Structure 1
Amino acid sequence: MKDILTGFEVYEVPEYCRDWVVEEVVTKAPTFEGSGNWHWRKFIIMHNLSNKNISKVIKVLRSHGINGIFATTTPTSLTWKLEDLLNELIREDEYFRRLREEKQRMSSFYLDIGKS
């Protein structure tokens, strides 16, 4: 990801940070050592990016086949433990996936006859 997202600061968050408060993770990210490849899901958490740059990051990563759960920090999420935030992001992702699946399933039940 670092090679793909030139111009952005990209950090891997190692597993030993899972019990840290997100604000501490964000602050200390430049000092981390170790792999961020420890969770069964992939997360891309963006901090202090403009809406334009958030869209750019998501578009660039998806165009390279990198999918995961995309999120931005909020004043509230910065006070949570990282593990709690990741669990909440998983719950939200599953909820929205079910909504999309239901919408697709329901759209197949409608017939647009139109006017002749």
Structure 2
Amino acid sequence: MTSFPGSPTMLAPDRPPPLQGYKLQQPTESDAVAALHRVFGAERAAERWGTACRAAGLVPGMVFGAPLLEQVVKALATQGGATATVARSIEIRMRTYARLASQATLMAGGQR
């Protein structure tokens, strides 16, 4: 279940298992909110996430999948300061996961 301060408890769709050989999982809304929470605390994290979701035309607690998460992370980055730094870290994690997943798919198909 995905839950964070200031939002209703939502059932998150299952995410793919960690990539074989890595412990890295596909980033989710919960991961992004948790990163904000570690920096700003519960109330300010929920506020910043909500602002970014609204700027991206989405609803907090309903950001499912990488494309939607990417939209919110881009909006989060526009808030500047430490919020932009958190957004950048989430973006790096998303790109890293995508790159590793792509490589794993190629390797599973016998290609390099």
Q: TM-score, normalised by structure 1?
A: 0.37
Whose relative contact order is higher, 1 or 2, with alpha carbons under 8 Å and at least 6 apart?
A: 1
Give the TM-score normalised by structure 2. Answer: 0.38
User: Which has a greater percent of strand?
Assistant: 1
Larger radius of gyration: 1
Indicate the structure with greater helix content. Answer: 2
